[in-house]
């Protein structure tokens, strides 16, 4: 009973659907049926293409059409033809729509804050929720190329620096000049990849272009709640592909032997250990891979 995976999962499901009922009630707190409320929120969250909303919410085209007319009549959205394909239609929030969406957001934020607040040790609960959320949706993870200055990238990098600082005996101090290598990881000189799941960044990797006949992989980091799922390998592979498409033939990386899991992975992925190729104080292991 206490250890049976099925019993535990079903109990989790019961607990969560009870709670979800309460949370969905927040969607009903503004005198609007669930359907229109969900569509309005999808639009507010940036899914403006109607076919996409329809697919996301699994709505019949007829039903969708009527819901859109209703929201238009309320003055919350405007619908116009897509520029690239006049059959497709794009929904936009009006000013009133923005306000209504903000009101829903405020309700949801309050619900979320309440859940956390009534726990005596919020961080324990939050970490558990992170693990569950990552696990449940893991196959929806998408890897996208962004600028290393993208706020979502910055968030990952800061977490990476913080973690290195904890793990290296010497601590870790990013060069004071803010993100000195950012321009080298800007496409097409290099690249910066972000793994996104449910709107949350869960991992990153940088490809740093150089003028020395090789490129470097830098700043591979996976959020703790997503570790052990094979995401790091996927990021490495994607970064390699990115390098290939930029015509890069040789990759290098440096690391520290403290990060034993990472070192093991580099070996597994076909990297070979080489001599020190830079003067950085933190790394003590150096790898190369010809692609």
Could you tell which of DNA, a second copy, none binds residue 106, using a CB distance below 5 to 8 A set by kind? none
Can you tell me the distance from the alpha carbon of 270 to that of 236, in angstroms, rounded to the nearest whole number?
11
> Cβ 97 to DNA, closest distance in Å?
16
Binding residues (CB under 8 A) for a second copy: these are: 1-2, 5-20, 23-24, 108-109, 112-113, 115-116, 119-122, 124-137, 151-152, 155-156, 159, 198-201, 223, 228-230
Say if residues 263 and 284 touch (Cβ distance below 8 Å).
no
Can you tell me the distance from the alpha carbon of 287 to that of 236, in angstroms, rounded to the nearest whole number?
13
> Cβ 250 to DNA, closest distance in Å?
39
Could you tell which of DNA, a second copy, none binds residue 125, using a CB distance below 5 to 8 A set by kind? a second copy
Can you tell me the distance from the alpha carbon of 164 to that of 158, in angstroms, rounded to the nearest whole number?
10
Whole-angstrom CA distances from 151 to 146, 197, 205, 214 are 10, 16, 15, 28
The number of residues making up the chain comes to 291
**Residue 165 token pair:** 């600082």
Could you tell which of DNA, a second copy, none binds residue 200, using a CB distance below 5 to 8 A set by kind? a second copy
Cβ proximity to a second copy, 143 vs 223, nearer residue: 223
Could you tell which of DNA, a second copy, none binds residue 86, using a CB distance below 5 to 8 A set by kind? DNA
Cβ proximity to a second copy, 85 vs 109, nearer residue: 109
> Cβ 257 to DNA, closest distance in Å?
52
> Cβ 198 to DNA, closest distance in Å?
22
Can you tell me the distance from the alpha carbon of 76 to that of 99, in angstroms, rounded to the nearest whole number?
9
Could you tell which of a second copy, DNA, none binds residue 230, using a CB distance below 5 to 8 A set by kind? a second copy
Cβ proximity to DNA, 79 vs 125, nearer residue: 79
- Strand-pairing partners, residue 195, are 143, 203
> Cβ 58 to DNA, closest distance in Å?
8
Say if residues 72 and 78 touch (Cβ distance below 8 Å).
yes
Determine the 3-state secondary structure of 185 from DSSP: helix
Cβ proximity to DNA, 33 vs 122, nearer residue: 33
Can you tell me the distance from the alpha carbon of 219 to that of 222, in angstroms, rounded to the nearest whole number?
10
Q: Which residues contact 58 (CB under 8 A, 6 or more apart)?
A: none
> Cβ 143 to DNA, closest distance in Å?
24
Binding residues (CB under 7 A) for DNA: these are: 33-36, 49-51, 54, 59-66, 68-69, 79, 85-89
């Amino acid at each position: 009973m206490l250890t049976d995976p099925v019993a535990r999962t079903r109990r989790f499901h019961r607990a969560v659907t009870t709670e979800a009922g309460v949370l969905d009630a927040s969607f009903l707190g503004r005198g609007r049926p669930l359907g229109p409320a969900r569509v309005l929120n999808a639009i507010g969250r940036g899914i403006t293409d109607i076919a996409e909303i329809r697919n996301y919410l699994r709505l019949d085209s007829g039903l969708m059409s009527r819901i859109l007319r209703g929201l238009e009549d309320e003055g919350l959205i405007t619908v116009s033809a897509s520029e690239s394909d006049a059959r497709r239609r794009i929904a936009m929030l009006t000013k009133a729509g923005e306000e209504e969406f903000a009101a829903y957001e405020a309700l949801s934020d309050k619900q979320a804050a309440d859940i956390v607040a009534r726990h005596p040790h919020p961080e324990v609960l939050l970490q558990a929720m992170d693990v569950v959320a990552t696990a449940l949706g893991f196959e929806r993870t998408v890897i996208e190329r962004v600028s290393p200055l993208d706020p979502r990238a910055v968030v990952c990098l800061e977490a990476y620096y913080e973690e290195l600082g904890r793990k290296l005996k010497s601590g870790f101090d990013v060069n004071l000049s803010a993100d000195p290598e950012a321009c080298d990881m800007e496409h097409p000189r290099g690249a910066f990849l972000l793994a996104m799941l449910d709107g949350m960044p869960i991992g990153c990797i940088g490809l740093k272009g150089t003028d020395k006949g090789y490129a470097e992989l830098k700043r591979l980091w996976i959020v703790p709640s997503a570790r052990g799922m094979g995401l790091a390998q996927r990021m490495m592979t994607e970064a390699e592909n990115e390098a290939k498409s930029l015509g890069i033939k040789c990759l290098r990386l440096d690391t520290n032997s403290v990060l034993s899991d990472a070192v093991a992975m580099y070996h597994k992925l076909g990297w070979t250990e080489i001599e020190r190729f830079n003067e950085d104080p933190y790394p003590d292991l150096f790898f190369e891979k010809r692609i």
